[in-house]
Structure 1
Amino acid sequence: MEQIYRIKYLKKFEGKSLRKIANITGHDFETVKKYVEQDNFNIEIRPKQIRSGKLSPYRDLVIKWLTDDIRAPHKQRHTAKRVYDRLLEIYPDEFDASERSVRSFVAKLKAELKFDKNASLPLDHPPGEAQVDFGEARFIENGTTYDGHYLNISYPYSNGGHTQLFKSENQECLLEGLKAIFEHIGGVPTAIWFDNMSTAVKKIKDYGERDLTKGFLRFMLHYGFKSNFCNPNSGNEKGSVENKVGYHRRNLFVPLPEFKDLREYNKQLLNRCDQDMQRQHYKGIGLIRDLFEEDKKEFLKLQEIPFEVYLHEFVKADNYGKVRFDTRIYSSSPSVAGRQVMIKAGAHDVEVLDSDCSLIVKHKRLYGQEKESMIWLPYLELMAKRPTALKYTGLFQQLPLTLKQFLEDCDYECKKQTLKIFARMTADTDMATAVAAIEEGIRCGARDADSLWVTYCRINSGSLPVMDVPLPDTVPELNRFTPDINVYDELIVSGGFKS
């Protein structure tokens, strides 16, 4: 800046020519001319240039991932490590940026988008022990979105871990998840650390003693492990699993998992956790897989008899045979209307049993916004016996519209047979398939139960059922006729036909 001032001074106050100033200052003539003519010396503020280098082709994709994260729970969003792993998965042949450069790249993008980041601390323990905690994760099953929970178990010595995804964190989910993990690893940790979750602890007493829930106590006795509980509000006492909760969320549940069946997905999760152990321990003391083998040597032997996880209670069915459990409604059978039945609820299913503990129906357990589950088969069988009273029941209003219209146009016998066929279809496949077959049959002009059944068989088997037709003795037996085409060969001669 001092040189520029001198050039301006020589010209303005001493009247030197541009050539003379160039000779005096030693600067190029064009440089002298430039600064003599310059009259604006304000500082221009410019944004800092972000040099992304190798990562520039992936900028839009990464921004999309980070933007999509806004719709996901706060703890279920992309980290720099997850971004790096996904770019390697998607572009295995062309992506060659380092993890460090990706971390810097993502940090700059998050700063632009005003995102935050979280961290957690690890904790060490002896071989054979474990820590357990739940995390929250959103997922999509068969197109329905659930704000669910995932059970995490970590093995602090090896830094290994497993997880299972559920729609709740009730006691059935806790025990079902632990049972699945025990069976998968072929053993039981000697001691397991928990926080004071209500599914395990009823009350915290003086001197650190605790009253445990009966279900958890039975589970603990069955598998023989020792349970340890953290002090209230002391998550740092089980820092290993606190860290694992975040690790599983970032590496297994980003982006939001989407699947058809939760139980099948949980089996895949266990295998993915095994594969994740093919990496170095964070302290650099060896592979997690090898250290986990040392953990397993200390594990307790798995019981030959598996623990059956369920909650049971007695409830009274209403006049329609419906029962209320866990604030939700499940159908049973009109045969038990107004009577007491037993609910046997697991993490995924709810069974309704009669007074003899025989199964009436089995439902998929309801979670989230799901409020009622209806299994029609027991009701259809009753309605088939009482077709005249069908229209005056509350159940008639809950039937599919297509079936209601068809039944209103039927006479007594047609109505009775249609309900029997409908019950048979539902028992053979499911309600949706049966309704689809009826709609197709009506569209094709079916006006009786037999025609509807034929349509159902055509849709689901591809062909009509073959029926044996007994013939009376008066029908003569016909000999099998085999045509002889040699006679046609005699008519053919070389070059054409006989004239």
Structure 2
Amino acid sequence: MLVVETVAKIRRLHLVQGLAIKAICRELGLSRKVVRKVLRSGATEFRYERTRQPMPKLGAWQAELDRLLEENAGRASRERLTLMRVFEALRGLGYEGGYDTVRRYARGWAQSRTSTAAAAFVPLSFAPGEAYQFDWSHEVVLIGGTTVTVKVAHVRLCHSRMLFVRAYPRETQEMVFDAHDRAFAFFRGACTRGIYDNMKTAVDAILVGRDRSYNRRFLQMCSHYLVDPVACTPASGWEKGQVENQVGMVRERFFSPRLRVNSYEELNALLLDRCVAHARAHRHPELRDRTIWEVFEAERPSLVPYAGRFDGFHAVTASVSKTCLVRFDSNKYSVAAGAVGRPVEIRAYAERIEIRQDGRVVGEHRRSFGRDQTVFDPWHYVPVLARKPGAWRNGAPFKDWLLPGALERVRRKLAGVADGDRQMVDILTAVLSDGLAAVEAACAEALRDGVHSADVVLNILARQREPPAPLTILTPDALRLRHEPLADCARYDSLRRSV
């Protein structure tokens, strides 16, 4: 194949120095056919592309290779096999050819697939405060030394391109509610329209055209923030292309190299800082003279004012076991002993669990995202201790229970007394009637006097409950007698004589 340098020499020898074709052939060692081809075409470069590549060993395996390549293309980008792995899979089926043949065929297959699948799109433009886009992504981080796949909620304002990202353990509906609330609180407002894909936490059914049957709770959230939800056409990610591009950008800039944090709180604080730093440092793609943050500040007055936190929970009913526990999301949570025997409503928020019965809160816990874990509130079991004091020593809710200051000191002192468990139960039971602050103060007073028995603590509480002594009534000087009466027994004697 003629290289560019040889073509240039031929052209200079003939056109500049005026040498004949025969002389050029002698000097460069080329055939007349080649020299004539260069001079007649006027081209400065020649390329050779084989029109047909014989692949005798691959012929019988072409259909199988097409199947492997199609399966590999359908996988998620992180799970796709390299071409060498595809070649090894084909060899495992019996193919005896070389890797280079498979590589050339795969390149042609990819080019033909790209040419048939390419599509054109219309660029979109949004007014300030008109719309935002929402999506999820999965990222890998190290939390407390453990590799965890977190679910990251992405919100993007379409006009200013301002972004907000927050990580969660799940993609459930209560996480969607929390992500919207935190995003709108950060933006200090919402847009009039929200663009989503057809996620199950928002869309119950896809109807004809643009019509959707939205989830009732999702519609309540949109109504609270005055947002009109719009769902994309299935498999048409370009309709929310801004947030789709944001997912790739955030993965590259925020999560690479792999983040190492101690908790979700630390991770989300880091992500928020990076969102602000990115917006301040990068130019707006259309308004090149301003940064994303400057355009965002200008867009804020056009946003729908922030309506406050939406009560975003996912509610389910559950029964209470005789051990005062309810099961939710593969974990168990304790409730007040009085709730046993009747169903309760569990309200699951993004970070906590609230348990209600007849409109009254009977339990509240920080949410656990593990499996087969039991979360206790020991105070839920104190009424049971009053009837079964023997459970104090080995009761699971009371292990590693750290009581408030004075109560904990009394507990330690009673641990070495013969009936110390019973006395401690009596003191804890008093909390139900007198309150924790009063019992804590009584324990502190008893310890100052050098005693710690339950009788003393309960006696102090009883004195505190006694009504105060009546006030002494003082007689004013205006009502005081000037001449006090004197006793005269002779008057009674005169009466007796008259009878």
TM-score in terms of structure 1 length: 0.54
In 2, the alpha carbon distance for the partners of 1:348 and 1:410 equals 40
Report the AA paired with residue 327 of structure 2: R
1:298 to 295, 299, 302: 302
Aligned positions of 1:202-217 closer than 5 A: 202-217=204-219
**1:160 Cα shift?**
2.3
**1:256 Cα shift?**
4.0
**1:294 Cα shift?**
4.3
Equivalence for 1:349: 352
In 1, the alpha carbon distance for the partners of 2:77 and 2:375 equals 32
In 1, the alpha carbon distance for the partners of 2:211 and 2:143 equals 40
Equivalence for 1:275: 277
Report the AA paired with residue 125 of structure 1: S
1:235 equivalenced with 2:237 (yes/no): yes
1:414 equivalenced with 2:420 (yes/no): yes
Aligned positions of 1:109-258 closer than 5 A: 124-127=124-127, 128=129, 129-141=131-143, 146-258=148-260
Equivalence for 1:335: 338
In 1, the alpha carbon distance for the partners of 2:253 and 2:183 equals 19
Equivalence for 1:104: none
In 1, the alpha carbon distance for the partners of 2:276 and 2:400 equals 50
1:288 to 292, 307, 313: 292
Q: CA RMSD in A?
A: 3.9
Equivalence for 1:361: 363
Give the conservation status (yes or no) of the 8 Å contact 1:146–1:368: no
Aligned positions of 1:413-452 closer than 5 A: 413-419=419-425
Residues 284 and 323 (structure 1), Cα distance of their counterparts in 2 relative to 1, 3 Å cut: same
Residues 204 and 258 (structure 1), Cα distance of their counterparts in 2 relative to 1, 3 Å cut: same
Report the AA paired with residue 294 of structure 2: D
Report the AA paired with residue 377 of structure 2: I
Residues 387 and 132 (structure 1), Cα distance of their counterparts in 2 relative to 1, 3 Å cut: same
Matched residues, number: 308
**1:416 Cα shift?**
2.1
Residues 254 and 419 (structure 1), Cα distance of their counterparts in 2 relative to 1, 3 Å cut: farther
Residues 187 and 383 (structure 1), Cα distance of their counterparts in 2 relative to 1, 3 Å cut: same
Residue ranges of structure 1 left out of the alignment (5+ in a row) = 1-72, 77-120, 429-447, 452-499
Larger mean Cα displacement after TM superposition, 256-265 or 283-292: 256-265
**1:381 Cα shift?**
5.1
Report the AA paired with residue 201 of structure 2: T
Report the AA paired with residue 396 of structure 1: G
Structure 1 stretches of 4+ moved >6 Å: 73-76, 406-412, 420-425, 448-451
Residues 449 and 265 (structure 1), Cα distance of their counterparts in 2 relative to 1, 3 Å cut: farther
In 2, the alpha carbon distance for the partners of 1:197 and 1:282 equals 29
Give the conservation status (yes or no) of the 8 Å contact 1:414–1:449: no
1:325 equivalenced with 2:328 (yes/no): yes
Matched residues, percent identical?
24
Residues 402 and 219 (structure 1), Cα distance of their counterparts in 2 relative to 1, 3 Å cut: closer
Give the conservation status (yes or no) of the 8 Å contact 2:195–2:232: yes
Equivalence for 1:480: none
Residues 186 and 389 (structure 1), Cα distance of their counterparts in 2 relative to 1, 3 Å cut: closer
**1:332 Cα shift?**
1.2
Residues 402 and 307 (structure 1), Cα distance of their counterparts in 2 relative to 1, 3 Å cut: closer
In 1, the alpha carbon distance for the partners of 2:173 and 2:331 equals 17
Equivalence for 1:80: none
In 2, the alpha carbon distance for the partners of 1:179 and 1:399 equals 37
The structure with the largest alpha-carbon Rg is 2
Equivalence for 1:396: 395
In 1, the alpha carbon distance for the partners of 2:430 and 2:168 equals 34
**1:385 Cα shift?**
4.8
Give the conservation status (yes or no) of the 8 Å contact 2:326–2:332: yes
1:379 equivalenced with 2:371 (yes/no): no
SS of alignment partner, residue 305 of structure 2: coil
TM-score in terms of structure 2 length: 0.54
SS of alignment partner, residue 176 of structure 2: helix
In 2, the alpha carbon distance for the partners of 1:416 and 1:123 equals 76
In 1, the alpha carbon distance for the partners of 2:197 and 2:392 equals 54
**1:123 Cα shift?**
6.4
**1:138 Cα shift?**
3.3
**1:262 Cα shift?**
3.1
SS of alignment partner, residue 206 of structure 1: coil
In 1, the alpha carbon distance for the partners of 2:274 and 2:426 equals 47
In 1, the alpha carbon distance for the partners of 2:248 and 2:198 equals 20
In 2, the alpha carbon distance for the partners of 1:288 and 1:176 equals 25
Report the AA paired with residue 310 of structure 2: F
**1:290 Cα shift?**
2.3
SS of alignment partner, residue 277 of structure 1: helix
**1:225 Cα shift?**
1.4
SS of alignment partner, residue 309 of structure 2: coil
In 2, the alpha carbon distance for the partners of 1:74 and 1:370 equals 33
Superimposed CA distance per residue, residues 430-453 of structure 1 (whole angstroms, 9 cap, x where no aligned partner): xxxxxxxxxxxxxxxxxx9779xx
**1:200 Cα shift?**
0.4
